[in-house]
Protein backbone atom coordinates (compact mmCIF):
# COMPACT_ATOMS: atom_id res chain seq x y z
CA UNK A 1 0.00 0.00 0.00
CA UNK A 2 1.29 3.48 -0.69
CA UNK A 3 0.28 6.85 0.63
CA UNK A 4 1.30 10.41 0.04
CA UNK A 5 2.72 12.46 2.87
CA UNK A 6 0.54 14.99 4.59
CA UNK A 7 0.67 17.25 7.65
CA UNK A 8 -0.93 15.83 10.79
CA UNK A 9 -2.05 17.98 13.72
CA UNK A 10 -0.61 16.08 16.71
CA UNK A 11 -0.54 18.29 19.82
CA UNK A 12 -0.66 21.75 21.31
CA UNK A 13 2.76 23.41 21.56
CA UNK A 14 2.29 23.68 25.32
CA UNK A 15 1.99 19.89 25.56
CA UNK A 16 5.63 19.42 24.51
CA UNK A 17 7.88 19.49 27.58
CA UNK A 18 10.85 21.87 27.55
CA UNK A 19 13.16 19.00 28.47
CA UNK A 20 11.96 15.60 27.35
CA UNK A 21 9.56 14.26 24.79
CA UNK A 22 5.93 13.56 24.10
CA UNK A 23 4.68 10.42 22.32
CA UNK A 24 1.87 11.00 19.84
CA UNK A 25 -0.01 8.62 17.59
CA UNK A 26 0.11 9.56 13.93
CA UNK A 27 -1.83 7.30 11.59
CA UNK A 28 -0.64 3.85 12.70
CA UNK A 29 2.71 4.94 14.16
CA UNK A 30 4.05 6.51 17.34
CA UNK A 31 6.20 9.61 16.99
CA UNK A 32 8.28 11.27 19.70
CA UNK A 33 8.11 15.07 19.65
CA UNK A 34 10.92 17.01 21.33
CA UNK A 35 11.35 20.70 22.03
CA UNK A 36 14.61 22.53 22.40
CA UNK A 37 14.05 26.23 22.88
CA UNK A 38 12.11 27.37 19.83
CA UNK A 39 13.02 24.26 17.82
CA UNK A 40 10.89 21.14 17.52
CA UNK A 41 11.97 17.68 16.40
CA UNK A 42 9.99 14.57 15.51
CA UNK A 43 11.49 11.08 15.59
CA UNK A 44 10.19 7.57 15.39
CA UNK A 45 9.49 6.72 19.03
CA UNK A 46 10.67 3.11 19.00
CA UNK A 47 14.37 2.47 19.57
CA UNK A 48 15.76 -0.01 17.01
CA UNK A 49 17.76 -1.81 19.69
CA UNK A 50 15.03 -3.38 21.83
CA UNK A 51 12.05 -1.10 21.48
CA UNK A 52 12.59 1.52 24.17
CA UNK A 53 10.39 4.62 23.90
CA UNK A 54 12.61 7.54 22.96
CA UNK A 55 9.90 9.95 24.13
CA UNK A 56 10.79 8.75 27.66
CA UNK A 57 14.51 9.23 27.12
CA UNK A 58 16.89 11.84 28.48
CA UNK A 59 17.36 14.88 26.24
CA UNK A 60 20.67 16.70 26.37
CA UNK A 61 22.75 18.79 23.94
CA UNK A 62 20.65 18.02 20.88
CA UNK A 63 20.57 14.29 21.59
CA UNK A 64 18.08 11.86 23.10
CA UNK A 65 19.30 8.88 25.10
CA UNK A 66 17.12 5.78 25.02
CA UNK A 67 15.75 5.06 28.53
CA UNK A 68 16.58 1.34 28.35
CA UNK A 69 20.25 1.06 27.33
CA UNK A 70 21.21 4.64 26.47
CA UNK A 71 21.69 4.43 22.73
CA UNK A 72 21.97 8.00 21.60
CA UNK A 73 20.19 9.65 18.66
CA UNK A 74 20.46 13.13 17.15
CA UNK A 75 17.25 15.11 17.54
CA UNK A 76 17.72 16.82 14.17
CA UNK A 77 18.22 13.68 12.09
CA UNK A 78 17.56 10.51 14.08
CA UNK A 79 21.12 9.35 13.40
CA UNK A 80 22.58 7.00 15.96
CA UNK A 81 25.61 8.57 17.63
CA UNK A 82 26.88 5.10 18.49
CA UNK A 83 27.26 2.42 15.83
CA UNK A 84 23.72 1.10 15.56
CA UNK A 85 20.92 2.03 13.18
CA UNK A 86 19.15 5.35 13.48
CA UNK A 87 15.47 6.18 13.67
CA UNK A 88 13.32 7.94 11.11
CA UNK A 89 12.91 11.67 11.52
CA UNK A 90 9.96 13.72 10.32
CA UNK A 91 9.39 17.34 9.39
CA UNK A 92 7.61 19.29 12.11
CA UNK A 93 6.40 22.87 12.53
CA UNK A 94 4.07 24.98 14.63
CA UNK A 95 1.06 26.86 13.31
CA UNK A 96 -1.19 28.83 15.65
CA UNK A 97 0.20 26.92 18.66
CA UNK A 98 -0.55 23.55 17.07
CA UNK A 99 2.25 21.09 16.30
CA UNK A 100 2.13 19.53 12.83
CA UNK A 101 4.11 16.49 11.68
CA UNK A 102 4.57 15.49 8.05
CA UNK A 103 4.28 11.82 7.27
CA UNK A 104 2.24 9.35 5.31
CA UNK A 105 -1.34 8.83 6.40
CA UNK A 106 -0.80 5.05 6.23
CA UNK A 107 2.47 3.16 6.52
CA UNK A 108 3.77 1.70 3.30
CA UNK A 109 4.82 -1.89 2.93
CA UNK A 110 7.76 -2.68 0.67
For residues 90 and 107, give the distance between their C-alpha atoms in angstroms, rounded to a whole number: 13
Could you tell me if 43 and 80 are in contact, meaning their C-beta atoms sit under 8 angstroms apart? no
Binding segment toward ligand FES, per CB under 6 A, in 6-14, 24-32, 34-42, 68-76: 68-76
Taking the complex as a whole, the smallest distance from the CB of residue 48 to ligand FES amounts, in Å, to: 8
For residues 88 and 79, give the distance between their C-alpha atoms in angstroms, rounded to a whole number: 8
Among residues 24, 40, 45, 71, which is the contact residue for ligand FES, using CB under 6 A?
71
Enumerate binding residues for ligand FES (CB under 6 A): 47, 49-52, 66, 68-69, 71
Amino acid sequence: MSATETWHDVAALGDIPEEGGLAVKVADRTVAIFRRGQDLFALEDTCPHRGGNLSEGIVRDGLVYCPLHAWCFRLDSGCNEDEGPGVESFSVFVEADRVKVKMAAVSSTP
